[in-house]
Chains A and B, each alone.
Chain A
Amino acid sequence: MNQNLSKQLQQQVLSAIEANQPLQIQGGSSKNFLGRAANATPLEVSGHRGIISYDPVELVITARAGTPLRKLEQILADAGQMLPFEPPHFGLNATLGGTIACGLSGPSRSFCGSARDYVLGVKLINGRGEILNFGGQVMKNVAGYDCSRLMAGAMGTLGLLLEISLKVLPRQAAEITLVNKTSLPQALETMNHWAGKSLPLNAACYDGENLYLRLSGAKTAVKSAHQLIGYKLYGNGNPFWQTVKEHQHPFFQSKLPLWRLSLPAGMADINIPGTWFIDWCGAQRWLLSDSAPELVRKQTQASGGHATLFRRGPVDCETFQLPADGIMQLHRRLKQAFDPAGIFNPGRLYAGL
């Protein structure tokens, strides 16, 4: 049921500040596995849901944070539109708020942009219990600091998201997937070669054996791109990308810790023992490995990226790679600026934050 719980949530936040009782923000609990455990009183926000405005011609949708992601995507699909960053759900109950707070994007990311790229504005409750609006419902807006995009990926540590406005785009008329058996170095080279051409390329991944390219665009454009690239048509394109996005692909069925390595796209194979699944043209690499976290982080950093212990990590280990000291210092100051009493999701992103 659609309802506006802004006032109640504000009251709960104010009481928590008063009682110095930190809160653990809970949407659909689909991404509880991600990040460190926030040891705090759960604050249920999934009841705060509903589309506030959606006019397909404006290419903007505004919805309450507790709105189920699948509901939102269905409404867009009914109007022939979509969230271009293809967010993973990781569960049936994923909410819009959790999607933005975690800042995750799907296979189209390297071609279409990330969750934060599509954020136009947010309404949030800060750690002083104030309801604040940043950004707006228009494509271009440079009034004030960009506090709305800052919320994407902040894991709920800077405020409680109430409403989010996103830019949306029309769905493409045609979509096909091409497949080609190749080696890892060759796959990395090929993906990035095609990505530099004017083609309707929209996703590129490598599963250790095959390179998959997704073409998405006008019918004629997709057809001519297929002719140019020349690979075999892969019949089961849609379900394939769905399993990659949702980690239902057989690769992800493992008992080993799952790492997400964010790397420069063209970076050659890096030397960490384990099995790999390459997405985003090589910019996002999934690694199943029981190598020591320090080793994974060191190697990734040396290659110009950062590593996230995405699933099944040791309990006492940081999930996200610690930034440089100066950047960490800025994190603490920003946390102080938004949430001086440390009410929201303490420790979820980094210990002590």
Chain B
Amino acid sequence: MVNTEKHATGASAIDHSMTDKTAATKSTLDKAALITRLREIVAADALLYDEEDLRPYECDALSAYCKLPMIVVLPGTIEEVQAIMRLCYQHHVPVIARGAGTGLSGGATPIGGDVVLSLAKFMSILNIDPLARTAVVQPGVRNLAISQAVAQHRLYYAPDPSSQIACTIGGNVAENSGGVHCLKYGLTVHNVRKVKIVMMDGELLTLGGDALDSSGYDLLALINGSEGMLGVVVEVTVKLIPMPDRAQVVLAAFDDVEKAGIAVGEVISAGIIPGGLEMMDKLATQAAEDFVQVGYPTDAEAILLCELDGTNEEVSEQILIVREIMKQCGATKTRTACDEAEREAFWKGRKAAFPAVGRLAPDYYCMDGTIPRKHLPYVLRRMGELSIEYDLRVANVFHAGDGNLHPLILYDANTPGELKRTEAFGGKILELCIEVGGTITGEHGVGIEKLDQMHLQFSNEELTQFHAVKHAFDPAGLLNPGKAVPTPKRCSEYRQLPAQNKNRPSQNRCEHL
């Protein structure tokens, strides 16, 4: 979701009064007393509590929902984090960990009456081991900074979410972030070796290890994508992989989205796993071209970007095969980047697609469903119909290789009712993803944004199992409460709603915040 200040005060600001009350009544320390106690742990300048100072922390990149936290604390050491957690645990104060605040689903949105624990000071790269191909970093290190720091060894960290310039590795672990190279190189969970976490009661635990596996349950798998609800990530050991000798990108234009979809399947059927395989529809392509002028064919209904990487020879071999496949599948035009500058230009348009689309309307709403690729034509057709029904334009940017869709719904938050309509449309798209056997979120997380759709994807028993997992890590329920997993009560209420009221971010939404 685009970060425009105006949403914050727009029609969407939700009523959290209930949450405030809940948190406040349980907490055994008032704000002033808590500040006094926190001052014993951190320096005065590591503590924010005036409204003006708290304002930047009122939301993450899901800026339609805002709530001021009670206090923001910025510890500088693991010991400080532990002491803060212990204090909050003893006094029943909810804690929300925060990295760079680039999350798109409201995972770091405060709930009021809470302490936001910012990991912004944890910015050091602690160790790089080129032979073992690992780096040990603090959670506030930016995703891209890792790759930059290890580039001298011709290594890099593979997951590359669009926000990689700003987003931090701690947040990446919390969200199990993806990017454009997931099909070949995996998600965060596949690229992290070891994580140190601080539990809600202040205990420091190490999950995973310096070997490739650890004994017992795979707690490392569980912590990835747990949306900051099981523990606070305070150190991460990432796996590094060799930079490919060469990466080359083919751009193919199609006069029909369906043909582009078929071409994706044909590339994979030929036994080729591209480093990146991205699709953009006409609206997204035009917006990107207007924004960065990289020579995208703006008359195409869809374009594909297919990046091949590896040794020089295999890239040469695969480029020829991919070009041939694109032609056979009816590409109206194919272009192979002739040098690194052109390759970067091809990607520049794709990477700028969100802000580019953002210029087409005052606001946009970014969705994140994943579907089995074969259903792409049907899903795109239905989305077109829904676009007419809801009278809102939608641009499509698609991680075609792994089936992760990012429809961008264009709207204007200042038009009364338009955000609600947008969210209803978005909800329909997520339901569509579930209908074809996919998921409501591929890489952005559930946060507060998709709580209602969780009811559709999971049964009460499954949600209860999730709560049991949460309880195993955080019995008091103080760590990022109310995110990611709705209560079964909320589910049954949601399922009983008349169809026209579903997906509306009504007061229902704040019930769990």
| Interface of A toward B, CB cutoff 8 Å | 55-60, 80, 103, 109-110, 113-114, 116-117, 126, 128, 130, 132-134, 136-147, 149-150, 152-154, 158, 169-173, 189, 192-193, 195-200, 217-221, 223-225, 262-266, 280, 283-284, 304-306, 308, 320-324, 326-328, 330-331, 333-334, 336-338, 349-350
Inter-chain contact A336/B472, CB cutoff 8 Å: yes
Inter-chain contact A142/B273, CB cutoff 8 Å: no
What B residues does A173 contact at CB under 8 A? 271
Q: How far is the CA of A144 from the CA of B222 in the complex (A)?
A: 10
- Among residues 197 to 245 in chain B, which have CB atoms less than 8 Å away from a CB atom of chain A? 199, 203-207, 209-219, 221-222, 224-226, 230, 242-245
Inter-chain contact A145/B441, CB cutoff 8 Å: no
What A residues does B459 contact at CB under 8 A? 132-133
Q: Which of A143, A145, A154, A218 makes the CB contact (< 8 A) with B440?
A: A143
What A residues does B377 contact at CB under 8 A? none
Inter-chain contact A264/B222, CB cutoff 8 Å: no
Of the candidates A60, A262, A304, A336, the one having the most CB atoms from chain B within 10 angstroms of its own CB is A262
Inter-chain contact A320/B216, CB cutoff 8 Å: yes
Inter-chain contact B217/A150, CB cutoff 8 Å: yes
Q: Which of B214, B265, B317, B370 makes the CB contact (< 8 A) with A57?
A: B265
- Which listed segment binds A: B60-68, B354-362, B396-404, B407-415? B396-404
| Interface of B toward A, CB cutoff 8 Å | 129-133, 153-155, 175-176, 178, 182-183, 186-187, 189-190, 199, 203-207, 209-219, 221-222, 224-226, 230, 242-245, 265, 268-269, 271-273, 310-314, 316-318, 370-374, 399, 402-404, 437-446, 450, 454, 457-459, 461-463, 465-466, 468-473, 484-485
Inter-chain contact A57/B269, CB cutoff 8 Å: yes
Inter-chain contact B219/A144, CB cutoff 8 Å: no
Inter-chain contact B190/A117, CB cutoff 8 Å: yes
Q: Which of A117, A138, A331, A336 makes the CB contact (< 8 A) with B438?
A: A138
Residue of B nearest to A337 (CB): B468
Evaluate whether A195 and B212 lie within 8 angstroms (CB atoms) in the complex, with A150-B222, A171-B271, A220-B316 already known. no
Q: How far is the CA of A349 from the CA of B317 in the complex (A)?
A: 47
Residue of B nearest to A304 (CB): B210
Residue of B nearest to A132 (CB): B462
Inter-chain contact A141/B217, CB cutoff 8 Å: no
Inter-chain contact B370/A141, CB cutoff 8 Å: yes
Evaluate whether A220 and B268 lie within 8 angstroms (CB atoms) in the complex, with A138-B442, A304-B210, A334-B472 already known. no
A-B contact pairs, 12 of them (CB 8 A): A55-B372, A57-B373, A138-B371, A140-B399, A140-B402, A140-B404, A141-B441, A142-B443, A145-B469, A220-B317, A333-B471, A337-B465
- Distance of B459 from chain A, by nearest CB (Å): 7
Inter-chain contact A324/B462, CB cutoff 8 Å: no
Q: How far is the CA of A198 from the CA of B318 in the complex (A)?
A: 16
What B residues does A192 contact at CB under 8 A? 131-133
Of the candidates B216, B244, B269, B318, the one having the most CB atoms from chain A within 10 angstroms of its own CB is B216
What A residues does B155 contact at CB under 8 A? 196
Q: How far is the CA of A96 from the CA of B459 in the complex (A)?
A: 26
Evaluate whether A113 and B190 lie within 8 angstroms (CB atoms) in the complex, with A138-B442, A336-B472 already known. yes
Of the candidates B221, B230, B370, the one having the most CB atoms from chain A within 10 angstroms of its own CB is B221
Evaluate whether A306 and B214 lie within 8 angstroms (CB atoms) in the complex, with A117-B190, A140-B403, A327-B207 already known. yes
What A residues does B175 contact at CB under 8 A? 142
- Distance of A216 from chain B, by nearest CB (Å): 11
Inter-chain contact A217/B314, CB cutoff 8 Å: yes
Inter-chain contact B268/A224, CB cutoff 8 Å: no
Q: How far is the CA of A26 from the CA of B187 in the complex (A)?
A: 33
Q: How far is the CA of A322 from the CA of B214 in the complex (A)?
A: 10
Q: How far is the CA of A336 from the CA of B133 in the complex (A)?
A: 37
Of the candidates A114, A128, A136, the one having the most CB atoms from chain B within 10 angstroms of its own CB is A136
Residue of B nearest to A334 (CB): B472
What A residues does B374 contact at CB under 8 A? 55, 57-58
Residue of A nearest to B439 (CB): A141
Q: How far is the CA of A218 from the CA of B316 in the complex (A)?
A: 10
Q: How far is the CA of A296 from the CA of B129 in the complex (A)?
A: 26
5 cross-chain pairs, A with B, having the tightest CB-CB distances, nearest first:
A220-B313, A140-B442, A218-B314, A333-B472, A149-B221
Residue of B nearest to A350 (CB): B216
Q: How far is the CA of A306 from the CA of B373 in the complex (A)?
A: 40
Q: Which of A126, A134, A324, A330 makes the CB contact (< 8 A) with B472?
A: A330
Inter-chain contact A136/B438, CB cutoff 8 Å: yes
What A residues does B207 contact at CB under 8 A? 327
- Distance of B313 from chain A, by nearest CB (Å): 3
Inter-chain contact A136/B437, CB cutoff 8 Å: yes
Q: How far is the CA of A304 from the CA of B135 in the complex (A)?
A: 15
Q: Which of A56, A58, A140, A198 makes the CB contact (< 8 A) with B311?
A: A198
Of the candidates A58, A114, A143, A189, the one having the most CB atoms from chain B within 10 angstroms of its own CB is A143
Evaluate whether A262 and B212 lie within 8 angstroms (CB atoms) in the complex, with A116-B221, A149-B221, A195-B133 already known. yes
Q: How far is the CA of A24 from the CA of B338 in the complex (A)?
A: 60
Residue of A nearest to B440 (CB): A143
What B residues does A221 contact at CB under 8 A? 310-311, 313-314, 317
Q: How far is the CA of A336 from the CA of B473 in the complex (A)?
A: 12
Residue of A nearest to B185 (CB): A113
- Distance of A60 from chain B, by nearest CB (Å): 7
Inter-chain contact B203/A141, CB cutoff 8 Å: no
Q: How far is the CA of A133 from the CA of B458 in the complex (A)?
A: 8
Q: How far is the CA of A133 from the CA of B459 in the complex (A)?
A: 9
- Distance of B426 from chain A, by nearest CB (Å): 15
Q: Known pairs A145-B485, A323-B214; list 15 more (Cβ under 8 Å).
A: A55-B374, A59-B268, A126-B465, A142-B445, A170-B268, A196-B154, A198-B243, A218-B314, A218-B318, A223-B313, A262-B213, A305-B210, A330-B205, A330-B217, A337-B468
